[in-house]
Amino acid sequence: MAKLSAAEKQKLYRQRRDADPVRRAEYLEKRRQGYVSDIVNKKRKNVGELSERERRAQRKAWRVNQARHRQRMRAVQTVLTPNSSPDRSPSIPRCVCLCMQREQGRAVRRNHSQRKRRKILKLENKIKQLTKQCNKYKRRCSRYTKQQQQAASPGSPSTRVRKFLQGQSVISPVKKTLTFHYALLDDLREKYKASRTGKAKRAIASIQAGRQIRRYKFQSLCQKSLSFSYKAGKELRSKCEDASGKRALVRQFYLRDDVSRLTTGKKNTITIQKVKKQRRLLCDFLQNLHIKFVAEHGDVSYTFFCRHRPFLVVKPNAQDRETCQCKTHENLQFMADTLYKHGLLDSKNVDQMADATVCNAISPHDAKVCAYGDCMACKSKAYPFTKPPSKNEVTLTQWCLVKTDSKQEQEKHNTITVKRDVTETEDEIATQFQERLFHFRRHLYNIRWQYKAYRHLRETLTPKDCLIHIDFSENFTCKYATEIQSVHFGGSHQQATLHTGVLYVHDQPPMSFATISPSRRHDPVAIWAHLDPILDMVQSEYSDVQHLHFFSDGPATQYRQKGNFFMISSEPHQKGFKKITWNFFEASHGKGAPDGVGGALKRSADALICHGRDIPDARALYQVLMESGTQVKLFYVSNEDVEERSRKMQEVALSAIKGTMKIHQVLSLTPGVLKYRDVSCFCQAGENVWDCPCYGLQNIVIGAVPPTQKDQTEPQTQRPDVIESHHCGQWCIVNYDGQPYPGIILTVEEQNVQIKCMHRTGRYDLNRFYWPSPIEDLNWYAENQIMCLMPEPVAANKRYIELDDKIWAFLKAELGC
């Protein structure tokens, strides 16, 4: 009996296994479990997880297998199914005659193929002839080039010596010395040409400036023999030295906060040559930044400017979309894009258009006067349109405030911000664009000036000064290394507040710090609870520091409000500091170094969680970060510390400062007394004078107001400290030329409010107002012109409305109307 092959053995094994139903069922169950295990362990992919190409290949294989399976089943069915019909008599084969057209078609195809074949053979012969001719001319050119090179070449050192001594009888040492001379010159010349860096070229060229060369006056001969000069290397070195200074300026320019913004995400890092840095994103196109650099530091080429961009400064992409954009910038840019698209503007750069509508002021004070709209020369200057706007309707995008009904309370409305398409005429959009561009000049000036003041203060710090740049980071969500489903999808995660900052002291490296707290409050009480350990550290480690300078963004609910102003005038003085300034960046433009500190801490915490550490709360976050050896100085602020300060603040009634949102610098040189102005100024900081009279410095005594002296006015006539976006849609009273006008708040942008106002009847002492028709009275007003908020007035008749008696009495008392 012949020996069975492996395949035959496997076939017999399968037949025996399939003959037993129990073994067959066990085998199928094992295959089914293996399939499920492969799916779970990602060894086998579902068709939805495959790439598009792999999916097409898999489906094609399925179709082929299915077709084969059906063909086999049909064959089996044919064999197993008996033929029920009786046998027919053999049919007489038909004589199939070929069609005449078919024969003609075949003849045409044969002729066509023969013609193509003959043409191909002819072209192949022609290609061979041309290739042969081309190779012949190549060889001729190569021989000619080689002959020319040999004729121009001075030859080898031995050849040149032989030609030089032709017809002369000299001894062998002389020939050897001359050969060494030519060989050395050739090697030096080849080394110089092969050098890729200016440093290597200068090292070889420095041979010409040797002491012996200069002693025997061989500089000219050496330059002629080597074909390069030492002066060229010297000029190259001087150019490189000049370029190094410009290179440093360019790199410092890129790292400025008004040129590139620091990313705050824990994954927003970039690593080159094992150097890991937090990414910075460019705030503008490189062409515009180059123009800005040239205006500040002199002329450099665009290529040089782009080449020396630091590696951590990158261009933003779709994934780097900014989620904290400025509403003023965005809405104005949408308008500019729409007007440019319809041919009314020659540029889409709103910054350049704003600069074109103000005077070219040299002094900072004059620049502020122009930007704030107080210059008579450029107060009414508008940006010119390329053509007159028409009455055609166009669509543009705007960020708008929309009121929505509350699901819990039917009478309550919520205000949300949405991005909407608005349809208006070109004339209306052009008018609104000019109005917003006028207010945008002030916004743009504040942005630039505050960043400039920040840089100036950092560069001029004295041993007595300390600059603290602070900001609240996004709350960190505490997590476990492994979590059950109810924890992961439920509300069991706690949050930790991170208050981050960077501390700058004279001649000391910057110190990054952060305070961690379970309290989620961000009000002035929490701010100073977070700052308390920082100020204690400054006192202990920097004993010479007597002046504190804070820089932060300016949200009205956190830093820029009366509660924080009161703390500024009291808390630092109690710790022994003599002079305090608090400076605010322009709203929505306060990104800086503290945001990077928060991103670094969150990234470290997530890495520890991935390695098995549990961080269930703020205390655990503080402990694991301290154990990780981070370079950031960490402090823990308990919930009790915040609540203790809160109880003390509840006993104090504070008076508001008029025009709070316009303030960008607050000074406290004496406890309980504040000085403030529109923008920061450190022009006399070198003389230890912080309260220079620049930019309208004002004084105010801030402190506790006794309850008996509090404003007893009815609630409906009270005015909030700050008019914010959530006030849109409410009724208010505007003071215009000493007369009150009721209206509805439509838009709030920085310190300006757009209001739809009513008109008064002819008599000023009459409490009657009406809506103008057919043109609505839409105008922008300063925030301090709003006297109070009020409920919707009552209609006196179909035409007029009347204000509430208490509100009218309040207005008469205030304005004497």
Q: What is the DSSP code string of 41-56?
A: TTSS--GGGS-HHHHH
The per-residue pLDDT for 377 is: 87
Q: Cα 299 vs. chain centroid, distance in angstroms?
A: 27
The per-residue pLDDT for 83 is: 62
- C-alpha gyration radius of the chain: 42
- Cα separation of 534 and 671, whole Å? 20
Count Cα neighbours of 259 within 13 Å in the Cβ-side half-sphere: 23
Beta pairing class for 777-782 and 752-757: antiparallel
- Cα separation of 292 and 270, whole Å? 26
φ/ψ of residue 781, rounded to 5 = -130, 155
The per-residue pLDDT for 715 is: 42
**pLDDT, tens only, 294-343:** 988 888 889 889 988 999 898 887 556 556 678 888 889 899 999 998 99
Calculated CA dihedral for residues 433, 437, 440, 445, nearest 10 degrees: 160
* Beta carbons of 498 and 472 less than 8 angstroms apart: yes
One-letter amino acid for residue 269 of the chain: T
**CATH fold label, 711-815:** SH3 type barrels. (2.30.30)
The C-alpha angle 794, 797, 799, rounded to 5 degrees, equals: 100
- Cα separation of 570 and 703, whole Å? 9
Tokens standing for 79?
């064999």
Length of the chain: 817
One-letter amino acid for residue 655 of the chain: S
> 685, 694, 691, 649: which is closest to 670 by C-alpha?
691
Provide the b/e sequence for 130-162 (b: ≥16 CB within 10 Å): eeeeeeeeeeeeeeeeeeeeeeeeeeebeebbe
* Beta carbons of 765 and 814 less than 8 angstroms apart: no
**pLDDT, tens only, 455-475:** 999 999 999 999 999 999 988
Would you give the DSSP letter of residue 725?
G
- 634 DSSP β-pair partners: 514
One-letter amino acid for residue 361 of the chain: A
- 675 DSSP β-pair partners: 667, 699
Domain ranges of the chain: 159-228, 236-320, 328-394+426-446, 460-708, 711-815
Would you give the DSSP letter of residue 694?
T
Residue reference for tokens 């890129």: 254
- Cα separation of 395 and 429, whole Å? 10
Q: Quick one: 708 exposed, middle or buried, by C-beta within 10 A (0-12, 13-18, 19+)?
A: exposed
* Beta carbons of 549 and 466 less than 8 angstroms apart: yes
Q: Where are the beta strands (DSSP E) in 686-730?
A: 698-701
Dihedral angle sign, alpha carbons of residues 507, 508, 509, 512: negative
Q: How many C-beta atoms lie closer than 10 Å to residue 675's C-beta?
A: 18
**pTM of the shown model:** 0.58
Conformational region of residue 586, where left means phi above 0, alpha means psi within -120 to 50, and beta covers everything else: beta
- Cα separation of 6 and 9, whole Å? 5
* Beta carbons of 494 and 618 less than 8 angstroms apart: yes
**Which are the contacts of 405, defined by CB distance < 8 A and separation ≥ 6?**
412, 413, 414
Helices of type H across 706-788 = none
**pLDDT, tens only, 764-811:** 678 888 888 777 888 888 887 888 888 888 888 878 888 888 888 888
**pLDDT, tens only, 22-61:** 999 999 999 999 999 998 888 888 888 889 999 999 999 9
Conformational region of residue 286, where left means phi above 0, alpha means psi within -120 to 50, and beta covers everything else: alpha
The per-residue pLDDT for 716 is: 47
Mean per-residue pLDDT pooled into runs of 10, the chain (817 residues): 85 92 93 91 86 92 93 86 59 50 84 93 94 94 86 78 81 85 85 82 78 80 75 53 77 87 76 85 88 88 90 77 74 90 90 89 80 87 91 88 63 72 90 90 91 91 93 90 82 89 92 94 92 94 93 87 90 92 88 87 90 91 92 93 83 76 91 91 86 88 55 53 79 86 85 86 79 82 84 84 86 76
**Which are the contacts of 800, defined by CB distance < 8 A and separation ≥ 6?**
761, 768, 769, 770
* Beta carbons of 425 and 390 less than 8 angstroms apart: yes
**Which are the contacts of 677, defined by CB distance < 8 A and separation ≥ 6?**
663, 664, 665, 694, 695, 696, 697, 698
The per-residue pLDDT for 205 is: 80
If DSSP codes are grouped into helix, strand and coil, which group holds residue 91? coil
> 475, 448, 541, 450: which is closest to 503 by C-alpha?
541
